[in-house]
A and B are shown apart, each in its own frame.
Chain A
Amino acid sequence: MLSSIGLRSRRYGSVLVGIIGLLGLALNTCPQLLKPQRRRIFWLLFKRQLYNSGLRAASINTIIAILLGVFVMSKAYSVIPNNMQFIDYYAQFFNIVVIREIGPLISGIILIARSASAVTAEVGQMQLYRQFDALSAVNMSPALVFLLPVFFAFPLSLLLMFFYFNLICVFTSYAVIELYHEGGITLMAFIRALLQQLTFTEVVVSMTKALVGGCLIGLASLFFGYNVQDRFTDVSRAISNSNTFQLFAFFVLNVGLSYLVYL
């Protein structure tokens, strides 16, 4: 059992080293964006990545946010009495459960399930069929074509998904309040109460979770995809390993940051 734990730790360690290497490569490639030709090709690929990872996730994000908003506010009613004077408690409950913890976590899981797997599969297949040779044949840098768009689009996508998810949750929660509450809480009063609960620290922590988490998820996708060897099953194995690592790393990041800042 000890050897199994040791082996797993070593494997995760080597993945982390690889991801740090990719981070270094991404930072090293950034100066190429100063050249207008490089910038225009990067911009095209960045927009494509942002559309795929951020915008196309909107529908599933909406459905989950609606369900979660209804669930959270229904739960709030089971522990907090139904009264106008408790609006601050509704807001506090919403803030702690959705904005601090579940919102970022669910958004991260959606990003991993939808976009990170797709990137790992895409890069894995390209590696399997030696398509990086084609890129070398036209003398284009894989770092600029694949690494930088993911490196910038994933954190930005996650940030947008956080924001979007929370926004939908706010409206759905208010819809539940409107349905059950008899005390006439207005949408503006609910939003005002929420904003009063929200601190600068919470905004910074949420942004950190999005930016660091998105970056980690994106780089891990590329790392596992790029390490595909000659067998077809390597692609499915890469997706599976990549998702496992990303879920683990993202949960550790979320729980770790929340523990450090809020507890």
Chain B
Amino acid sequence: MTCLQFDNVDLSYNDNVVFRQLNLRVNSGEIICIETGVLDGGSSLLKLAAGLCEPDAGNIIIEGLSLKDMTEQARFKATCMAFEAGGLLSIFTNYNNIAFPMLYHTRMSEKEIANHIEPLAEALAMSELLALEPHQLNDVQTRMMNLLRAMVFRPKLVLLDEVQSGMSHEMRENMLNVLLREQQQHQYAVVMTVTAGDRTDFADRVLAIHNHQLEEVQ
């Protein structure tokens, strides 16, 4: 079953064309890595899929439903984006940045939410960072906190923006192990943007942005 579908999507910022007639299909449970360079539209692609920016033309469909017609509840269940930078609200602690959206969208009790967050935080070696505030995290920790949030939510589609950047070898291996284990268990699709030096060998497909479109990397 198709999880994410881009149909002839155009996107431009003022006169700067980012995508023209872009098409993409991601199947349920599939992992896709997208190689990106500087300002070539990697983050914009993920933001389009998360519904954070509107395409100039074309349609974006998640599990058969047009993204623009979804309620906020349906979007929460459909997709979650982990930002490369920021992505956390500075007025909440890191823990509440993950727990509050779950309180908002689900009927889970605070204890059940804690039971979701804590084991994953421990697996990612981030338990001690949960009580801190976003400004106390460095860039890598911020990306990891974004990743943790996306994994805790367990949507149908997880969008990860350059999550491997800046990580040590051990940290990256552990992060990918946890991500792949969770992805296998809950069968969500993953679209991850990657840069030079990042691992892509775990992906089902590797794509690259070229001439405002996506091309398969051999």
Contact = CB atoms under 8 A, between A and B. Distances in A.
A126 B90 contact: yes
Contacts of A41: 100, 103-104
A122 B104 contact: no
B194 interface: no
A41 B105 CA distance: 10
Contacts of B107: 36-37
A130 B90 CA distance: 11
Nearest to B81: A137
Interface stretch (A138-146, A157-165, A212-220, A236-244): A138-146
Given A37-B106, A37-B107, A134-B83, A140 B90 contact: no
B89 A134 contact: yes
A246 B104 CA distance: 32
A135 interface: yes
Given A36-B107, A129-B86, A137 B91 contact: no
B105 to A, nearest CB: 7
B89 A139 contact: no
Which of B88, B100, B104 has the most chain A CB atoms inside 10 A of its CB? B104
Interface stretch (B14-22, B68-76, B125-133): B68-76
Interface in A80-138: 122, 125-126, 129-131, 133-138
Contact of B90 (A36, A38, A129, A141): A129
A138 B88 CA distance: 10
B206 interface: no
Contact of A140 (B72, B80, B149): B72
A138 B91 contact: no
B52 interface: yes
A40 interface: yes
Interface in B82-108: 83, 86-91, 97, 100-101, 103-107
Contacts of A129: 86, 90
B72 A134 contact: no
Which of A37, A125, A126 has the most chain B CB atoms inside 10 A of its CB? A37
Contacts, number: 63
Contacts of B80: 137-138
Given A126-B91, A139-B75, A139-B76, A134 B86 contact: yes
A116 to B, nearest CB: 16
A140 to B, nearest CB: 5
Contacts of B101: 138-140
A130 B100 CA distance: 19
A139 B86 contact: no
Given A139-B75, A139-B76, A38 B104 contact: yes
Contacts of A133: 52, 83, 86-87
Interface string A4-42: 000000000000000000000000000000001110110
A126 B81 contact: no
B52 A122 contact: no
Nearest to A133: B52
A134 B88 contact: yes
Nearest to B100: A41
Nearest to B78: A139
B70 to A, nearest CB: 9
Contacts of A140: 72, 100-101, 104-105
Contacts of B91: 122, 126
A134 B72 CA distance: 14
B50 interface: yes
Contacts of B97: 134
Contacts of A138: 76, 80, 101, 104, 149, 153
A137 B83 contact: yes
Contact of A134 (B73, B87, B103, B104): B87
A125 B106 CA distance: 29
A137 B50 contact: yes
Interface string B151-181: 0010000000000000000000000000000
B103 A37 contact: yes
Interface of A: 36-38, 40-41, 44, 122, 125-126, 129-131, 133-141, 144
Interface of B: 50-52, 72-73, 75-76, 80-81, 83, 86-91, 97, 100-101, 103-107, 149, 153
